[in-house]
Chains A and B, each alone.
Chain A
Amino acid sequence: MTTTLLEARKVEKRFGGVQALADVSFSIRRAEIYGLIGPNGAGKTTLFNVLTGIYAADAGGFMFDGAPLDGLGPHQVAARGIARTFQNIRLFANLSVLENVMIGRHVRTRAGVIGAVLRGPRTRAEEAGIERRATELLDYVGIRGRANDRAGSLPYGDQRRLEIARALATEPKLLALDEPAAGMNPAERAALGRLIEAVRRDGVTILLIEHDVRLVMNICDRVLVLDYGERIAEGPPPEVQKDPKVIEAYLGAPHAA
């Protein structure tokens, strides 16, 4: 087992005239919290979408856990061990909180139509396991008390936590979080930071898109900075923060929000 979990090799993605990702390369070590930052429209979410198979890369690709991800669909990427959350929360809003997490277990369980219909001892054991694990995960992210509520009825911060629980249910090696702190108050952000660190301690590598500078500085081991789809800096947060190119991207350039 190598120390590198994910390696991006010259990943490129265009949307018509927009170069969303230009020759982006980087590598993430196991059990690392790796930050991905950049001004609005820098290509961060696009990188997630290409990584998780929602879009195909125009050139380049990813090596994950010793094998390429090229050509895999999103469900296959999930099976390989990458789980994600979405910038614009995508829960199964009308299902219960518990069901959301149970659905996350799909990829690690087996029962098919025949198993479901006959419901033999094996299927029953599997179902019990799914529910048990889902409940544990709700506990883990701190929203177990809302298990039977409609997912869409949760407050914003709890919805973000639920998305993390659902992603963890797939037993990922890499958890990719797209702006998980968006819409949270400072106390919730601090708690989120602790949660992310706990997940890492349990052996899951984290790829984190985040605009909240404090959170990034506090928990990331290394940070990659994108601007107009290009990699402009990488390194430990304090160094990156001092990098003139980064400062310019955020402050000097007119397109920064």
Chain B
Amino acid sequence: MHPLFDTKNSPRLVWAGVAVVALTLLVLPFALAQIGTTWVRITNYAILYVLLALGLNIVVGFAGLLDLGYIAFYAVGAYTYALLASPHFGLHLPFWAILPIGALVAAFFGVLLGAPTLKLRGDYLAIVTLGFGEIVRIFLNNLSRPVNLTNGPQGVTGIDPFSLGDFSFARSETFLGLTFSGPIKYYYLLLAVMVGILALNVRLQDSRIGRAWEAVREDETAARAMGINTTHMKLLAFAMGATFGGVAGGMFSAIQGFISPESFILVESILVVSMVVLGGMGNIWGVVLGAVLLSFVPEILRWTVEPMQRALFGHMLVEPEVIRMLIFGFALVLIMLYRPAGLLPSAVRKRELARDDDAA
């Protein structure tokens, strides 16, 4: 554990810290709404990325299986929701029924990817998973004929927002003098889901299952000799990771109200992998940090690069998008150079990188 979270030595301090963080997260959307509702939306997408990064961390960080097609599970969750709650098929199932279905379908796809790749590792696995992600996207693009299943590149529109009886997540409401806009309502829902999934990850990591994943990652042959069914553990990792991706996808669908295959391109998979690696593979808090940073920094750059150029030169010299990617890429390279195990490395990765010191 990171000393920051050493609950054994200073429980008071930790609880105080938790209280501060919790309070901040609770008032955050209202503070953001002051700047503009866009920022609440951006935060919501950031939380979705946190969910994705946490899911991918199970596969990559815990079990050590490099997956470059992870966004496919997000797509599966998103399309499951979209098809069951939109005018496309005229189905309008409630979200609490679809989210578990989406999670299950995604888990099924996780096993579908996991089963044929059990014998693969490292680069080979990366290539196959990359292909898998592309195949799913291509299917989404083309499953509009002969039966119109996905509506092809046009995507699915008019997706139902979450609602419970009369309570809709799309409407603004005033309660106790506070205006709860749609995005703010979603924010609280996302926050709750994130806390739940975080707790799940923390528990899993420090358990018999978490240790078995570590064993698989470290040495598969030794793991098997110790009685670990590595086939099982790998499929479990793929399925669990996919489940979280599926849940995130369903929420994405509802929040956005519109989805198309465009949202699930390879770059998205790579972005999520970057979040995991940059934050600290295998360290849950590092992964959260990575996802938050990589979600917000580009947005902040988007909102500052253009005004700054106008102020400095009177007109735009370089497209914000270009500068944004440039700064972004440069920052990534720097971080990987100076913190190769990520911003908050896991205990294991720290030990791994300290190996040379041990030998000396």
CB distance from A117 to the nearest CB of B (A): 5
The yes or no answer to A250 lying at the interface (CB within 8 A) is: no
Question: Scoring A residues 144 to 171 as 1 if CB is less than 8 Å from chain B, else 0, what string do you get?
Answer: 0000001011000000000000110110
The yes or no answer to A130 lying at the interface (CB within 8 A) is: yes
Question: Scoring A residues 90 to 108 as 1 if CB is less than 8 Å from chain B, else 0, what string do you get?
Answer: 1111111001001111111
List, in ascending order, chain A residues with CB within 8 A of B230's CB: 75
A113 to B212 alpha-carbon distance, docked (Å): 11
Q: Is B348 within 8 A of A75, CB to CB?
A: no
Q: Is A95 within 8 A of B358, CB to CB?
A: no
A112 to B204 alpha-carbon distance, docked (Å): 9
B-side interface mostly: helix
List, in ascending order, chain B residues with CB within 8 A of A130's CB: 208
Which of B211, B218, B221, B354 sits near A54, CB closer than 8 Å? B221
A253 to B186 alpha-carbon distance, docked (Å): 78
The yes or no answer to B200 lying at the interface (CB within 8 A) is: yes
List, in ascending order, chain A residues with CB within 8 A of B228's CB: 75, 103, 106-107
A115 to B204 alpha-carbon distance, docked (Å): 9
CB distance from A113 to the nearest CB of B (A): 6
Q: Is B224 within 8 A of A111, CB to CB?
A: no
Q: Is A94 within 8 A of B348, CB to CB?
A: yes
Question: Scoring A residues 106 to 141 as 1 if CB is less than 8 Å from chain B, else 0, what string do you get?
Answer: 111111110111010001001100100000000000
Which of B199, B209, B214, B219 sits near A111, CB closer than 8 Å? B209
CB distance from B78 to the nearest CB of A (A): 24
The yes or no answer to A52 lying at the interface (CB within 8 A) is: yes
A170 touching B218 in the complex, CB below 8 Å, given contacts A106-B212, A113-B204, A116-B210: no
A104 to B219 alpha-carbon distance, docked (Å): 13
A235 to B225 alpha-carbon distance, docked (Å): 29
CB distance from B216 to the nearest CB of A (A): 10
Interchain pairs with CB closer than 8 A, number: 120
The yes or no answer to B34 lying at the interface (CB within 8 A) is: no
- Interface residue range, chain A: 35 or more
Q: Quick one: which of A53-106 are within 8 Å of B by CB? A: 54, 73-75, 78-79, 83-84, 86, 90-96, 99, 102-106
The yes or no answer to B215 lying at the interface (CB within 8 A) is: yes
Question: Scoring A residues 33 to 53 as 1 if CB is less than 8 Å from chain B, else 0, what string do you get?
Answer: 000000000000000000010
CB distance from A196 to the nearest CB of B (A): 19
CB distance from A128 to the nearest CB of B (A): 12
Q: Is A112 within 8 A of B209, CB to CB?
A: yes
- Interface residue range, chain B: 20 to 34
A116 to B209 alpha-carbon distance, docked (Å): 7
CB distance from B261 to the nearest CB of A (A): 32
Query: Who on chain A is nearest to B222 by CB?
Result: A90
Which of A74, A103, A110, A166 sits near B212, CB closer than 8 Å? A103
A93 to B204 alpha-carbon distance, docked (Å): 21
The yes or no answer to B339 lying at the interface (CB within 8 A) is: no
The yes or no answer to B203 lying at the interface (CB within 8 A) is: yes
Q: Is B211 within 8 A of A102, CB to CB?
A: yes
A123 to B207 alpha-carbon distance, docked (Å): 9
Which of A79, A95, A127 sits near B207, CB closer than 8 Å? A127
CB distance from A149 to the nearest CB of B (A): 9
Q: Is A74 within 8 A of B348, CB to CB?
A: no
List, in ascending order, chain B residues with CB within 8 A of A73's CB: 224, 229
Which of B214, B225, B236, B358 sits near A78, CB closer than 8 Å? B225
CB distance from A14 to the nearest CB of B (A): 21
A52 to B227 alpha-carbon distance, docked (Å): 10
Q: Is A170 within 8 A of B226, CB to CB?
A: yes
Q: Is A75 within 8 A of B207, CB to CB?
A: no
Instruction: Please list the 6 inter-chain residue pairs (A to B) with the smallest Cβ-Cβ separation, ordered nearest first.
Output: A107-B227, A116-B207, A78-B227, A92-B218, A74-B224, A153-B358
Q: Which residues of B contact A (CB under 8 A)?
A: 199-200, 203-204, 207-212, 214-215, 218-219, 221-230, 236, 240, 348-349, 351-352, 354-355, 358
20 residue pairs bridging A and B, Cβ less than 8 Å apart: A54-B221, A54-B225, A75-B224, A93-B219, A94-B349, A95-B214, A95-B215, A103-B215, A103-B223, A103-B226, A106-B212, A107-B226, A107-B227, A111-B207, A111-B209, A115-B208, A116-B208, A116-B209, A117-B199, A127-B208
* Interface contacts beyond A106-B227, A115-B208: sample of 16 additional A-B pairs, CB < 8 Å, sorted by A: A74-B221, A83-B226, A86-B225, A90-B221, A92-B214, A96-B351, A103-B214, A104-B227, A106-B208, A106-B215, A112-B209, A113-B240, A116-B204, A116-B207, A117-B203, A119-B207
